[in-house]
A and B are shown apart, each in its own frame.
Chain A
Amino acid sequence: MHSRFRFLFVILIMGLLLMAGTAQAKDATHELRDASVISKAIERGTLRVGFSTFVPWAMNDKTGKFIGFEVDVMTKLAEDLGVKIEFVPTSWSGIIPALLSDKFDVIIGGMSVTTERNLKVNFTIPYDTTGMALVASKSMAKGFDSLADFNKEDVIIVARIGSTPATAAKAFFPKATLRLFDKETQCMQELLSGRVHAFVASAPLPAHSAVEHADKLFLPVEGTFTKEPVAFAVRKGDPDTLNVLNNWIRQKEAQGWLAERKHYWFETLDWASQLK
């Protein structure tokens, strides 16, 4: 009798503990869900997206409106989520600090996935792939026709500060001098002025600029020399948002929507007349 009573008592205590435990777990999931960026965006009615001006990913057209591949992606994402879109143009060097300090919800800015960045932010699955390409000055880099030609001590290479092209330039041309600027325009200006040998940037900018300034610039090597996955970046510890964004990307990929938009912005120049 005595032992049976003790047995019941233990069962009772265990049951109580289990109930408390599940209640707590339930609270934690609710909390996680309510704190997720997606829930907050839906509650607020707007999705704030951070990006940086980057032809043809995102740019101002001549009426001051934002256009570009990323802009299409952001607009479609907001439309599918049923919220308004809020564009937050941000300078590239401060874009991750701005995300971490909650200036916007997600970076959709042609950001390549790197491990260093991944330690600061979480990435979705890639929605795009980009690669590094190199465009060189005809006067400075005369006769250069392989990547090895640029890996010399007296060669100067420009790239955008904090970008994966800058990292790639360091890795591929360790002997060359690397000069960094905040904007791609400034890099391009250095190249056009004949002060540097080459400019490393994400495709298709090098190819486009070699066509535009055919008298001064050329492509020493065809195509890209790296392949990099590009993904949305969100703050860490937010599985709900990652899940929603990942599945959105999977859908758009399967529907061919991403490929179609990418073709329009990267392989045609139909949009060029909207700029100037």
Chain B
Amino acid sequence: MNNHPRARTSHTLDVLLLFLLAMAAGLFFWRLQTRFDYDWNWTAVPQFLFRLDPEHGWTANVLVHGLLTTLRLSIWTTVLALGIGVAAGLAASSRSLFRRLIARTYVEAVRNLPPLVLVFIFYFFIYSVLAPLIGLDDAIRAMPAWLGNILAVVCDEPNRLPGFISGVITLSIYEGAYIAEIVRGGVESVDKGQWEAAASLGLPRSDQLRLVVLPQALKVIIPPLTGQFISTIKDSAIVSVISIPELTFQGLELMSATYLTFEVWITITLMYLVLTMGCAMLARKLERSLRWRF
């Protein structure tokens, strides 16, 4: 990253800053120790990640299950939000006033609502009205066991699917609005001359977009889009309020049962950090490989 020709080489300030940061961290833990005189019990935590089962050997426990649910939730949300976002983003940059109005209404409505409110409205009202209408819950109950097993791996246990589905849909609607803005910004960043040049070649509007404008827009779209995916992982914590057993919910339940408040919060924080930083590293790799291609 540090390939700027005039990158600063003096490290005195950096060392000083690092020292101050270490001091602050030390002070924090010292205060924590004296102020709370908290009974740390870290030995109890690892068993909530993995435990030794007398029959099956080492198996994942609640926190790892929670992390996996967070991951599945984020992946499905990303796929669905990408669809919603690209459609809304293209509509927002289209020539039709009607499409632009629809897209803007969606984006503005969602961006100006707290996500927590969105989650509750969807779960308690919209889903409860829609699901019986299309027979979703009955279909989930009636599905064959093999399908249930597949869904348990890629989504969630069949009995928890209604919650999972409404979580994914709500998060997708929420993230989709941001992706729509990213896509719209990318498309509008492409110079008008490119549209005109493509039109003068006799390409229809859809081909102008697909062959000329979108490839150039992608360069602008990809970096903020990867950032949005990482946001999705973080935002997924919010569906813990509708009892989807993702990492935050599992952590809260665990704390209710064991009262290991700090240990569990710190463990969860580290698990989120590992996940999001891993994704950030992957995203940077992807960006670099894409830079070659365009």
Nearest-neighbor residue (CB-CB) of B264 within chain A: A185
Which residues of chain B (126-179) have a CB below 8 Å from chain A? 127-128, 132, 141, 159, 162-163
Contacts of A91 in B (CB 8 A): 240-243, 249, 252
Q: A55-B256, A60-B62, A189-B261 are in contact. Are A88 and B243 (CB under 8 A)?
A: yes
Contacts of B12 in A (CB 8 A): none
B255 touches A185 (CB 8 A): yes
A47 to chain B, nearest CB (A): 12
B51 touches A54 (CB 8 A): no
Which residues of chain A (22-66) have a CB below 8 Å from chain B? 44, 46, 48, 53-55, 59-64
B41 touches A276 (CB 8 A): yes
Contacts of B36 in A (CB 8 A): 192-193
Asked whether any CB of chain A lies closer than 8 Å to the CB of B35, the reply is yes
Contacts of B53 in A (CB 8 A): 63
Contacts of B132 in A (CB 8 A): 102
CA A53 – CA B125 in complex, angstroms? 25
Q: A101-B124, A185-B256 are in contact. Are A94 and B65 (CB under 8 A)?
A: no
Contacts of B38 in A (CB 8 A): 192
Contact with A along B52-67 (1 / 0, CB 8 A): 0100000001100100
CA A98 – CA B243 in complex, angstroms? 10
Asked whether any CB of chain B lies closer than 8 Å to the CB of A188, the reply is yes
Asked whether any CB of chain B lies closer than 8 Å to the CB of A90, the reply is yes
CA A275 – CA B163 in complex, angstroms? 27
* Residue from B255, B258, B260 within 8 A of A183 (CB atoms): B255
Q: A91-B241, A183-B252, A193-B35 are in contact. Are A275 and B257 (CB under 8 A)?
A: yes
Contacts of B128 in A (CB 8 A): 101-102
Asked whether any CB of chain A lies closer than 8 Å to the CB of B253, the reply is yes
Q: A64-B61, A101-B128 are in contact. Are A53 and B253 (CB under 8 A)?
A: yes
Contacts of A89 in B (CB 8 A): 243, 245, 253
Contacts of B245 in A (CB 8 A): 89
Q: A189-B261, A193-B36 are in contact. Are A53 and B256 (CB under 8 A)?
A: yes
CA A193 – CA B51 in complex, angstroms? 31
- 18 additional contacts, CB 8 Å, given A60-B254, A101-B125? A44-B141, A63-B53, A86-B159, A88-B243, A89-B245, A91-B240, A91-B241, A91-B243, A94-B242, A101-B123, A183-B255, A184-B256, A185-B252, A188-B259, A189-B261, A193-B36, A194-B35, A276-B44
Give 5 nearest A-B pairs by CB, closest first: A59-B257, A101-B128, A53-B256, A185-B255, A276-B44
Q: List 30 A-B contacts (CB under 8 A).
A: A44-B141, A55-B256, A59-B257, A60-B253, A61-B257, A62-B61, A63-B53, A63-B61, A64-B61, A64-B62, A88-B243, A89-B245, A89-B253, A90-B243, A91-B240, A91-B241, A91-B242, A94-B120, A97-B124, A98-B243, A103-B163, A185-B252, A185-B256, A185-B259, A188-B261, A192-B38, A209-B259, A276-B41, A276-B44, A276-B260
Question: What is A's interface to B at a CB cutoff of 8 Å?
Answer: 44, 46, 48, 53-55, 59-64, 86, 88-91, 93-94, 97-98, 101-103, 183-186, 188-189, 192-194, 209, 275-276
Question: What is B's interface to A at a CB cutoff of 8 Å?
Answer: 35-36, 38, 41, 44, 47-48, 51, 53, 61-62, 65, 120, 123-125, 127-128, 132, 141, 159, 162-163, 240-243, 245, 249, 252-261
